[in-house]
Structure 1
Amino acid sequence: MAWEVLSMIGTVAFAVSGAVIAMEEEYDLFGVYMLGVVTAFGGGAFRNVLIGVPVSALWEQEMLFRIALVSITVIFLFPNRLIRHWSRWGTSFDAVGLAAFAVQGAMMAVQLGLGMSATIVAAVLTGAGGGMIRDLLAGRRPLVLRKEIYAVWAAIAGIAVTLGAGMADWGLYLVAATVAVLRIFSARFGWRLPVRKLVS
């Protein structure tokens, strides 16, 4: 059950995130749908390639594709006065997508019997991969490469799922909720990773 719920939550969150950024960049209707779909499914596609899952598995998610398309359509039809507030609640959407997909990616790696390293990579790619593609296609510097903490939270989700292999659904939801809250806090309070500057 957790797998389906997290998949739906992540798909909606990232599809909306990609669509809104496409509208901010003044993409046409096709571009909005394209960026929304790529954001929602790009990370999972990268993950599948690296952990040995057939890429064709992506096309077996017909229901999730429908959910993504409906989500994009709804946000495209939203009044402009509401979308203008994206800067306020956009981080929350992105955090929810990151958390849900990070846990889902880690779950897949654990189910395949892979070790902690592979699980962490699966969590990071699933959680942050779609956002990276979104930002690159939109001509923005990817969040994962900025100083603010982003992909680290996905890695922590991977560690938690590995250590709690076989945990109940409520435990997986708790991990996802914790990661989402930490991501929101890190953005709101400006938590940063150490940076080393080279002085010439």
Structure 2
Amino acid sequence: MTWDILNIIGTMAFAISGAIVALEEEYDLFGVYLLGFVTAFGGGTFRNLLLDLPISDIWNQSMLFTVAFITMTLLFFIPFHWVLGFKRLWGVFFDAIGLATFAVQGALFAVMAGYPMSAVIVGGVLTGTGGGMIRDLLAGRKPLVLHQEIYAMWAVIGAMAIGFGVADTMWQYILLIVGIVSLRMLSVIYGWSLPTRFDWLKQLRKLKR
């Protein structure tokens, strides 16, 4: 049941995220479906490749494909412009939900398969960010995972919480997901970022003066 809930939440969130990006780029209906589907299922594909699992398992999720299809169809045809006035913020929000949910799910998958912590972290990060990377590349954008603002690091923290057993019940998974989403939104709103080499060199020059 936990697995199914995480799958549905993550699929819906990433389908919406992909559809919003497609609408921002003024893609047609096919483009909305394409971007939504690759965002929703790209991370799972990366996960299966990484953990040496059958890629065909992705195509056996007919219910999730139906959920994603209905979600994107509603978003395209129903006039949600009054709700999605701030498309970027809503896009970031749904992307954060997908990131958090699939990072937890990917880490759980690796833990249940008996993989070591390194695989748990990589599995969580790739499952959480894989679909978004494909989405951004197809939309001609720089992938969020490569931005200076904090993105993939929240997936790392979530995966580590799963790997170390900090979260091991449904309610703890929910709290972990809410925490990752909150941190992701705060990092966007307040411009939190990881240091770059340029920042380090600039600070070094200041110390030499």
Please indicate the TM-score interval, normalised by the length of the shorter structure: over 0.9
**Residue of structure 2 in register with 1:48 after alignment:** 48
**Residue of structure 1 in register with 2:206 after alignment:** none
Kindly tell me: are residues 155 and 166 of structure 1, through their superposed partners in 2, closer, same or farther at Cα, counting changes over 3 Å? closer
**Residue of structure 1 in register with 2:64 after alignment:** 64
**Residue of structure 1 in register with 2:148 after alignment:** 147
Length-normalised TM-score, structure 1? 0.95
| 2: CA distance, partners of 1:129 / 1:166 | 23
**Residue of structure 2 in register with 1:117 after alignment:** 118
Which shows bigger deviation, 157-166 or 71-80? 157-166
Answer whether contact 1:101 1:127 (CA < 8 A) is retained: yes
Indicate the SS of the match to 1:83: coil
**Residue of structure 2 in register with 1:10 after alignment:** 10
**Residue of structure 1 in register with 2:19 after alignment:** 19
Answer whether contact 2:100 2:155 (CA < 8 A) is retained: yes
Answer whether contact 2:18 2:32 (CA < 8 A) is retained: yes
Show the 5 A alignment for 1:68-147. 68-79=68-79, 80-147=81-148
Kindly tell me: are residues 166 and 147 of structure 1, through their superposed partners in 2, closer, same or farther at Cα, counting changes over 3 Å? closer
Deviations 1:103-129 (A, max 9, x none): 000010001000110010111011011
Identity of aligned residues (%): 55
RMSD, matched Cα: 1.5
| 1: CA distance, partners of 2:104 / 2:48 | 15
| 1: CA distance, partners of 2:176 / 2:82 | 34
| 2: CA distance, partners of 1:87 / 1:176 | 21
Kindly tell me: are residues 166 and 143 of structure 1, through their superposed partners in 2, closer, same or farther at Cα, counting changes over 3 Å? closer
- What residue identity is the alignment partner of 1:177? V
| 2: CA distance, partners of 1:87 / 1:143 | 13
Show the 5 A alignment for 1:21-40. 21-40=21-40
Answer whether contact 2:84 2:90 (CA < 8 A) is retained: no
| 2: CA distance, partners of 1:87 / 1:151 | 18
Which shows bigger deviation, 4-13 or 79-88? 79-88
Kindly tell me: are residues 165 and 82 of structure 1, through their superposed partners in 2, closer, same or farther at Cα, counting changes over 3 Å? closer
Structure whose alpha-carbon radius of gyration is higher: 2
Measure how far apart 1:165 and its partner are: 7.3
Structure 1: 5+ residue stretches without partners: none
**Residue of structure 2 in register with 1:185 after alignment:** 186
Measure how far apart 1:29 and its partner are: 1.0
Measure how far apart 1:153 and its partner are: 0.5
